Chains A and B, each alone.
Chain A
Amino acid sequence: MGFEINGKTYETDEEGYLVNLSEWDEEAAKYLAVEEKVDLTDSHWEVINFLREYYNDYQIAPAVRVLTKAIGKKLGPEKGNSKYLYELFPYGPAKQACKIAGLPKPTGCI
């Protein structure tokens, strides 16, 4: 499975997550966001970039609880809560934001 943008192909698993993290680019994110029916704004990109940084540092996608806490620390308490993150990613910040950010599904994601 996968998709193609401007001649570049991206491989995905059966749930639509990118198979190779290194293939991810902004074009892929935009495509995945359309699939998820999310209109990407600067606020979305802030979270997406945060997730990519987190993964780069720790080699895992954070659990929602960990993500909210870490976002609060870095971007301020008004953003470090699940209400804010669910408004941006209605089907779950971990699941949906991770998918758009090209990360694997978080461990312990129910």
Chain B
Amino acid sequence: MDEESSGTVKKFAFINRKAPYGTIYALESLEVVLISAAFDQDVSLVFMDDGVYQLKKGQGTKAVGMKNFSPTYRALEGYDIEKLYVEKESLESRGLTEEDLIVDVEVLTAEEMATLMDEQDVVMSF
């Protein structure tokens, strides 16, 4: 982005707020996240609002004829992307708990999430 950015590590957050199959946002975000892993930046993934549905266990897309990309979230660890955050209120208001999610995440309150977002150098919105 600017001259001084080469070689320095920046804080990137990907904000995921959409459910997985109704729109292309979730899959597009995941693709960008995987590519961004090659640049060795400090990457955080945030799941809030309907974005928490992306991590729901037990997705099966055979009958709808779309690719089930939920297993790919489990590959993120191998890509050294280990900071996954879920907003508490979004999870609870959808009747979900951490147990329902396909990967280990850190659950944050709205307040904590707001602080996390504020600290980022770059925010990518999906």
Contact = CB atoms under 8 A, between A and B. Distances in A.
Q: Answer yes or no: A and B touching, Cβ < 8 Å.
A: yes
A58 B35 contact: no
Interface residues of A, number: 12
A78 to B, nearest CB: 20
B78 interface: yes
Contacts of B37: 63, 108
B74 to A, nearest CB: 6
Contacts of B67: 59
A69 B35 contact: no
Chain A CB count within 10 A is highest, among B31, B34, B75, for: B75
A65 B79 CA distance: 8
Contact of A57 (B31, B38, B74): B74
B126 interface: no
Given A57-B74, A58-B72, A59-B69, A66 B35 contact: no
Given A66-B78, A66-B79, A70-B78, A58 B34 contact: no
B97 interface: no
Nearest to A110: B38
B60 interface: no
A84 B58 CA distance: 37
Interface of A: 57-60, 62-63, 65-66, 69-70, 107-108
